Amino acid sequence: MLAFTLRRAIQAIGVMIAVGIIAFSMFRFAGDPVNQMVGMDTSGAERAAIRKSLGLDDPVLVQFGRYIGNAAQFKFGVSYQFRLPVTNLLIERMPATLELAIVATIFAMLSGILMGVYSALRRDSWLAHVFQAVSLIGISLPTFLIGVLMIYLFSVTLGWLPSFGRGDVVQIGWWTTGLLTLSGLKALIMPSITLGLFQMTLIMRLVRAEMLEVLRTDYIRFARARGLTTRAIHFGHALRNTLVPVITVAGLQFGSVIAFAIITETVFQWPGMGLLFVQAVQNVDIPIMAAYLMMVSLIFVTINLVVDILYTIVDPRLRSTVSRAH
Amino acid sequence: MTEPVLSVRNLQVEFASRRGTLRAIDDVSFDIAKGEVLGVVGESGAGKSVTGLAVIGLIDPPGRIAGGEIHLAGLRVDNLPAEEMRRVRGKRIGMIFQDPLTSLNPLYKVGDQIVETIRTHLSLSESAARRRAIDLLAEVGIPAPEKRIDGYPHEFSGGMRQRVVIALAICAEPELIIADEPTTALDVSVQAQIISLIKRLGRDHGTAVMLVTHDMGVIAETSDRVAVMYAGRVAEIGPVQDVVKNPLHPYAKGLMGAIPTLAGEDKRLVQIPGSMPRLSAIPRGCSFNPRCAFAFDRCRVERPEPLPRGTQSVACHLYDTVPAESAA
């Protein structure tokens, strides 16, 4: 088990170095950063001085080594537009994005699993058909459109919910949270539904398909022949077996929730990392773009690792193959 | 004779399909006494497994019991409400399925599955149920049961898993065990052990056993009586040695002729020409008549009903003595 975790961790580091190469090469292909930073009237000598102070004269490998070394300590340089350390900017924005992503994922998991289980067990009920229709909408309508439609309905027409921003936030250490104020919670509703809707439909469809599959298996038939209660069969046996693949997908989807947050944050002007990234793209602020890329990759890789470990906890068969293989 | 544990009368099972209603079981009747093993034999699709599932109330839609009665020690079970039938399953009727590799939930320890079943049917504490589970595992011949009880199904071999399945089937001391092809998926060397285990458990606990199989060898070894099924009907039923030595129904004769002997006679095995009709195309009269060498006019029009013949009962016009003119 330890060897397995260790091996996966080493693989994760390999992936991060590869991402680092891509992030680093962005600096070299997106034009001369000095030109982005200085005005038209800066002299050649001043430009050279800036170039030297930023270390842009050094050989590529040295620059790359320095970049990776700094990145490992979460130092991503200074933003061209804000003249502030990128790390500070990201950390400042991170709570907003993580709160949004976590709430969206919880919403997606809870309602997705509930709807999926219901539509598998009551396949022919009208509510199951409604769920199927909703899931079709959720899977085919683009996120930004749903966000805009919700703003039109709930903010513009009904005036119930704020159309942008996080509302009032409370500072806890370096973390800012909108979960403790009423306006913060109200502001969270539409963005998290918008962000979670796609995952919800995905999870619902997956749970439904898996559950129907599991209900057909021999061990469910045998469980019925043993006279277990319907409740024990559906929720003890079938659901647990259903959740094995659902955990993987939901876990891996958490990465894409954070990535998709870019769009949702733009629609709702949510002050998170995604919005920061979009602004950075508009201003060719490479340090932020590169740092964002690495942060998101780090989150992806970490989740992958956690899911792998979770998997072995849920499914005993993997536990033994894992220990046998090492 | 005391009341039989299981009494099936004129059972009919139908499946609704797009091309109309298919009758999988048509007018099947048999009894199983306490401690008796009834072997049910026939080709695939003859209705053996469906009969077993009907008895335990696990016919899934679009199938349904369309007629007849099933009595379990006097209690009529074919029309019980779902919740009461659930209480009968596992408690009074135990079932063993064909494939032990897929019968157990892979995510739960075998002990937890046994304890869960015990506690569903008997009011025992967690620890008492666990002790009982260990005893059961010991009884079905699993070595070191106090250790293996915390194993997962994948840690057991096929034969061992079938033993666990049997322990699960008997954990509430049922009066009847339905074993649906319990040895088909197993290694030949393990088959004999499982068969003798089922036989021993039936004898020790006085349990009636309905043993569904297509393996005549298994039937001959274990059963007291045998029912030969063909196209959803019982062709012949009787004590196993009589049916094996002296089969009456032409189909049963064909089946017995198809068993290879060790005597080494260089004789070709008998083969029954043709194959069993599909449920959608069961012929009129006796369903076996197109394949029967002895078929005569009456067989093509009138369905034969079971006739007592010594210890056996046979559904064949050849043994109906009244219109004797064509039997020869």
pLDDT at A92: 86
Return the C-alpha torsion angle A170, A173, A177, A183, nearest 10: 0
User: Looking at the domain assignment, is residue B126 inside a domain?
Assistant: yes
pLDDT band at B38 (very low <50, low <70, confident <90, very high): very high
Q: Do B89 and A223 touch (CB under 8 A)?
A: no
Over residues B121-130, mean pLDDT: 90
pLDDT attached to residue A65: 86
Q: Is B156 found in the same domain as B40?
A: no
What's the confidence (pLDDT) of residue B211? 92
Domain that residue B137 falls in: 107-171
Residue B266: inside a domain: yes
Q: Are residues B185 and B302 in the same domain?
A: yes
How far is the CA of A153 from the CAs of A119, A131, A138, B63, in angstroms? 28, 21, 17, 49
Which of B103, B118, B175 would best serve as a mutation to test chain A binding (most A beta carbons within 10 A)?
Answer: B103
What pLDDT, on the 0 to 100 scale, is given for residue A326?
A: 43
Question: Which helix (H) or strand (E) covers residue B212, if one does?
Answer: strand B208-213
Closest CA of chain B from A254, distance in Å: 25
Of the two residues A1 and B35, the one the predictor is more confident about is B35
Task: Of A172-176, B132-136, B189-193, give the lowest mean pLDDT range.
Answer: A172-176
Find how far residue B273's CA is from the centre of its chain: 25
- Chain B nearest-CA distance from A230, in A, is 9
How much is the average pLDDT of A109-123? Answer: 90
Tell which of B171, B189, B215 closes a domain. Answer: B171
Assess whether B273 and B149 both reside in one domain. no
Burial of A132 (0-12, 13-18, 19+ CB in 10 A): middle
Inter-residue contact A289 to A281 (CB < 8 Å): yes
In the predicted model, what is the mean pLDDT of chain A? Answer: 83
Tell whether B107 is within 8 A of chain A (Cβ). yes
Instruction: Reply yes or no on whether the pLDDT at B327 is more than 50.
Output: no
Looking at residue A115, its pLDDT comes to 92
At residue B214, the 3 state secondary structure works out as: coil
Q: Is residue B127 part of a domain?
A: yes
Judge if B158 and B286 occupy the same domain: no
Q: What is the DSSP letter of A237?
A: I
- Locate all alpha helices (DSSP H) within chain A, ordered by sequence: 2-29, 33-37, 44-53, 60-72, 86-121, 126-140, 143-150, 182-215, 218-225, 230-231, 239-267, 273-282, 286-314, 316-325
Is B104's pLDDT higher than 80? yes
Residue B328 has pLDDT above 50, yes or no: no
What local confidence, expressed as pLDDT, does residue B40 receive?
92
Interface of A with B in 99-128 (CB under 8 A): none
Residue B207 lies in a domain: yes
Structure tokens at A198: 């796609």
First to last CA, chain A: 8
Assess whether pLDDT exceeds 70 at residue A130.
yes
Residue of A nearest to B153 (CA): A317
Q: Is residue B113 classed as helix, strand or coil in its secondary structure?
A: helix
Domain end (from B134, B152, B171):
B171
Q: What is the pLDDT of residues A64-91, one digit of tens each?
A: 888 888 888 888 888 877 888 888 888 8
H-helix or E-strand containing B38?
A: strand B37-41
B165 and B184 within one domain: no
- Angle at the Cα of B224 (from B33 to B304), degrees rounded to 5? 80
Looking at residue B84, what DSSP letter applies? Answer: H
What's the ipTM? 0.84
Rounded to the nearest angstrom, the minimum Cα separation between B181 and chain A is: 14
Instruction: Work out the pLDDT band at A36, boundaries 50, 70, 90.
Output: low
| A322 has pLDDT over 70 | no
- Residue B322's pLDDT is 58
Report how far apart the first and last C-alpha atoms of chain B are (Å, whole number): 37
Residue of A nearest to B55 (CA): A225
Query: Which residues on A lie below 8 Å from B54 (Cβ)?
Result: none
Domain with B199 in it: what CATH number? 3.40.50.300
Residues in chain A within 8 Å Cβ distance of B103? 218-219, 222
Tokens representing A161? 């919910």
Question: What domains appear along chain A, each with residue ranges and CATH number?
Answer: 90-283 (1.10.3720.10)
Residue B62 confidence (pLDDT): 85
Q: What's the pLDDT at A114?
A: 92
Give me the mean pLDDT over the B154-160 stretch: 88
Counting one residue from chain A and one from chain B, the pairs whose CB atoms sit within 8 A come to: 79
Residue A305 tokens read as 């690792």
| Residues B157, B192 share a domain | no
Domain shared by B20 and B154, yes or no: no
**Which residues, 6+ apart, have CB-to-CB distance to A72 below 8 Å?**
none
- A323 pLDDT above the threshold of 80: no
CB B238 within 8 A of CB B312: yes
**Cβ contact A314–B107 (<8 Å):** yes
Say whether residue B95 is in contact with chain A using an 8 A CB cutoff: yes
Instruction: Tell me: pLDDT of B272 over 60.
Output: yes
Asked if B159 and B236 sit in the same domain, the reply is no
Task: Say what percent of chain A tops pLDDT 90.
Answer: 7
In a domain, B276, yes or no: yes
* Residue B324 pLDDT greater than 60, yes or no: no
Lowest mean pLDDT among A86-90, B38-42, B152-156, B182-186: B182-186
The answer to whether residues B252 and B320 belong to one domain is yes
Amino acid found at B198? I
Q: What letters, b where the CB count within 10 A reaches 16 and e where it falls short, cover A161-176?
A: bbbebbbebeeeeeeb
Contact A227/B at CB under 8 A = yes
Mean pLDDT of chain B: 86
**Looking at the structure, do residues B233 and B258 belong to the same domain, yes or no?**
yes
CB A163 within 8 Å of CB A151: yes
Number of domains composing chain B: 2
pLDDT-derived band at B58 (thresholds 50, 70, 90) equals confident
In this predicted structure, the answer to whether residue B261 has a pLDDT above a threshold of 70 is no
**Would the CB atoms of B117 and A218 count as touching at under 8 Å?**
no
Beta bridge partner(s), residue B16:
B21
pLDDT, position A324: 47
Angstrom distances, CA of residue B308 to CA of A166, B163, B305: 86, 38, 10
> CA-to-CA distance for A83 and A34, rounded, in angstroms?
13
Q: What is the mean pLDDT of residues A51-56?
A: 76
pLDDT for residue B267: 65
Quick one: average pLDDT of B158-187? 88
B314 bridge partner residues:
B236, B307
Residues from chain B contacting residue A247 (CB–CB below 8 Å): none
Report CB contact under 8 Å: B120, A232.
yes
Q: Are B93 and B50 in contact (CB under 8 A)?
A: no
Whether B123 and B269 map to the same domain: the answer is no
Q: Give residue A323's identity as a one-letter amino acid code.
A: S
The per-residue pLDDT for B225 is: 92
pLDDT of residue A325: 43
| Cβ within 8 Å, pair A227-B91 | yes
Q: What is the mean pLDDT of residues A224-252?
A: 86
Q: What is the pLDDT of residue B299?
A: 86
Instruction: Please list the residues that pair with B234 across neighbouring strands.
Output: B229
**B188 and B155 in one domain?**
no
**Residue B248 maps to a domain:** yes
Nearest C-alpha neighbor of B77 from the set B59, B62, B63, B61: B59
Q: Is residue B177 part of a domain?
A: yes
- Kindly state whether residue B273 falls inside one of the protein's structural domains: yes
More confident position, A34 or A224: A224
With 0-12 / 13-18 / 19 or more C-beta atoms within 10 angstroms meaning exposed / middle / buried, residue A11 is middle
Indicate whether B18 pLDDT > 70. yes
Minimal-distance CA residue of chain A relative to B173: A226
In this predicted structure, which of A4-18, A246-260, A310-324, B98-112 has the lowest mean pLDDT? A310-324
Query: Of B147, B171, B195, which residue is a domain's last?
Result: B171
